[in-house]
Amino acid sequence: MARRVAVIGAGVSGLSSIKCCLDEDLEPTCFERSNDIGGLWKFTTTVCSIMKRPDFSETGQWDVVTETEGKQERAVFDAVMVCTGHYLNPRLPLESFPGLCKIPPSQKLMAEATKKEQLIERGVMKDTSEDKLEFILYLDDLAACIGAKPSIPLLFLKDPRLAWEVFFGPCTPYQYRLMGPGKWDGARNAILTQWDRTLKPLKTRIIPDSTKPASMSHYLKVWGAPILLASLLLICKSSFFLKSAPDNLQDRISPYLVSIW
């Protein structure tokens, strides 16, 4: 029996996770609280809790409690993939950084947000919520502050292939681990192989090798019909020519054709 996997979220990560589960002969069940995507997923479903089962150390299974239209259901899964995105809810690492200031009460935050909306409606304040930030420049600025931004000219001198991938390839976090306080020995290989990992989940069909020589049956299928059609046309044309030719010419040609046929 296929192992069951709970996939939380039917966004980009969730859909690709479902595909990978199916490729590995697993049985995914996706839970999505919105109804933006059509299909066989359980829409408008809220995941209430995900807890280890009492026998988790032996089975590795999870209890997933969901709620749909006010009705709760409990299901057991062999694995859980949380694909809701790390921007779904704001997170501040207060436990890791005790020096950060405490978050103000929610009532105060709501009052400030309401006041800001009123000022924007009156034209006193500019609405900057739709302004887009160039995230690559922002990441470069942060990396430069801690000494983790890679030097492209230096990379071209030392490692041209790596420099080409960093400059012309996608901006991934690996490039900020080539140097600086978080330097990682595997960063170079991760950058050079990132497209391989991106394309692998998208490959589902084995394309036949086009370099192999085609068989005789292949040539017959391709050229058989055109050759047969051309032969029929030649026969019909010859018959029409014989009927339209004068009798004396036909008498001269007929014995010759008969000898050939």
The string of pLDDT tens digits covering residues 212-259 is 555 666 666 667 777 777 777 777 666 655 555 555 545 554 454 444
- Does residue 159 contact residue 152 with C-beta atoms inside 8 Å? no
- CATH 3.50.50.60 residue window(s) in the chain: 4-82
Q: Averaged over 17-24, what is the pLDDT?
A: 86
pTM of the model: 0.38
Q: Which CATH number is correct for 4-82, 3.50.50.60, 3.30.43.10, 3.40.50.920, 1.10.3720.10?
A: 3.50.50.60
Collapsing DSSP to helix, strand or coil, 197 comes out as: helix
Question: In angstroms, rounded to a whole number, what is the distance separating the alpha carbons of residues 176 and 187?
Answer: 9
* pLDDT at position 213: 59
Contacts of 3 (CB under 8 A, 6+ apart): 26, 27, 78, 79
The rounded radius of gyration (Å) of the Cα atoms in the chain is: 35
- Terminal Cα-to-Cα distance of the chain (whole angstroms): 69
CB burial class (10 A; 0-12, 13-18, 19+) of residue 95?
exposed
Q: Determine how β-strand 4-8 pairs with β-strand 79-82.
A: parallel
Q: Residue 63's pLDDT band (boundaries 50, 70, 90)? A: very high
